[in-house]
Structure 1
């Protein structure tokens, strides 16, 4: 996974336009194809065979809720742009007492707010830039971080449920060899049926589909807990405690935003002024002379 990430970073830096034109469509289509595929497989093939009528109806509600939140948060993450250029005119200039916290972007040739950084793929500076996400085809930053977090959360939850039910169905179907040892089948005298092969392949795909968002979610939980960003994940400069951190990222409703991407939850500020911990070295650093 780390090797793939580094290769993507290397290609993106050298060929940003080509990377966007290829990477965005492939990644978005992958999500848009995989989500209905696993939903259909679960609801019309696997779930009816392992649940009774009552549990099957409950599972329908849960599956629809998860799928709605996966696709909804993905779309809202794309729609809510975190570019510094989206700020009103007065928001693009620092107040005198905070000018020393702003930095100059050589590419944009402008002063930029703290925690904002330039994205070569977006071609602009992003407020509290976390990272550029191929699966949502945009940069994750101040205005859309909430949606990306719940996108990864529901992707992980959905694929984990799918994996568990698929394993249960596999056990009920009499599959005794773990799917990750499927190559052991070739060492046996007896040949498995084509149906068994399909089940193993689906389980393998389900594991990959579960591992990728789960890894992203693990990073995002760390980031939300400490109000950090992906490239500065161990930075505690802006850590104001779990509850305040959640509201800074999720908005005034905090973790209640898990209910729906359409739930209104205004952010506490515009992303240009960030409160730091009292013991922060940056806060206690001497102010630069701006005469």
Structure 2
């Protein structure tokens, strides 16, 4: 992920307008098409094959699939619609109090003082509160106000692709078992009728889907690992291992997920107010 992120960052700096006009739509389309593809594959083919179309497990599979897909797309949309721009600060908090002025930093592009932990984004053309990174898949910056939605977006992408990969493997093993031992399959492939060839080649095609699924799982899983580290230390992507603002795991979770904490996994539209507006940050007390 680091290589991909740094490559995107480098290209975005060189061609910001092209990155926004081409990179954003393609990235968003990749998520939408991928989600629709794996959802359809699971619900209409894999799960009914394993459990039977009229089984209770198939019905539970539909409920799980809809819930995961709802949270992938819902958190992705909420992330896009929620701005972490400094301009989102309440009126009266866009400028520092006299006693805070030494903590604020001057942005040469915006030509004014900005709160601690806020940084300018060349693609969004403004400063972001507690800027984590710019995400092409949500087409905006991840920061103080929308970090919660990004975390659950990545979490449900990882959960959905992992469940899909497991069921694909189970269905593939079931097909191999039904056709008999592997050496028999290879012999049958040489002497097979047209129907047998279709069945055997179908298994190889099935495991190509598993490989595609593994690739779809790997990227969000790595991103999720980074985000868990960021939540644990109350850091940001580019200062991932800094403990300067670490207030303990529970407090750190509240600063990202809001007052309802881990309950926000239920829905992106569940109200969970953040403890503060993103302009004041408490530092870790020295031991």
Match of 1:162?
164
Alignment of 1:98-109 (within 5 A): 98-109=100-111
| Aligned residue number for residue 5 of structure 1 | 5
Ranges in structure 1 where 5+ consecutive residues have no aligned partner = 177-184, 281-291
The answer to which of 94-103 and 150-159 deviates more is 94-103
2:115 aligns with: 113
Q: Which residue of structure 2 lines up, in the alignment, with residue 285 of structure 1?
A: none
Contact 2:245 2:284 in 1 (8 A): yes
Q: Distance in 2 between matches of 1:108 and 1:220?
A: 29
2:92 is paired with a residue whose SS is helix
Measure, in 1, the Cα distance between the counterparts of 2:96 and 2:117. Answer: 13
1:32-181 matches, cutoff 5 A? 32-51=32-51, 53-174=55-176
Cα distance, 1:226 vs structure 2: 1.2
Counterpart of 2:260 in structure 1 is 253
The answer to whether the aligner puts 1:272 opposite 2:273 as a matched pair is no
RMSD over aligned Cα atoms? 2.0
Over 3 Å off, 4+ runs: 188-194
Q: Indicate the residue corresponding to 1:262 in structure 2.
A: 269
The 2-side partners of 1:23 and 1:231 are apart by 21
Equivalent residues of 2:175, 2:203 under 8 A apart: no
For residue 179 of structure 1, what is the aligned residue in structure 2?
none
Shift of 1:175: 7.8
TM-score (norm 2): 0.89
Deviation per CA, 1:205-224: give whole Å up to 9, x if none: 10011001001100000111
How many residues matched? 270
- Taking the aligned partners of 1:197 and 1:121, their CA distance within structure 2 comes to 43
Helix, strand or coil for the counterpart of 2:77?
helix
CA distance in structure 2 between the partners assigned to 1:175 and 1:248 by the alignment: 50
Aligned to 1:214, the other structure's residue is in SS state: helix
Deviation at 1:277, TM superposition (A): 1.0
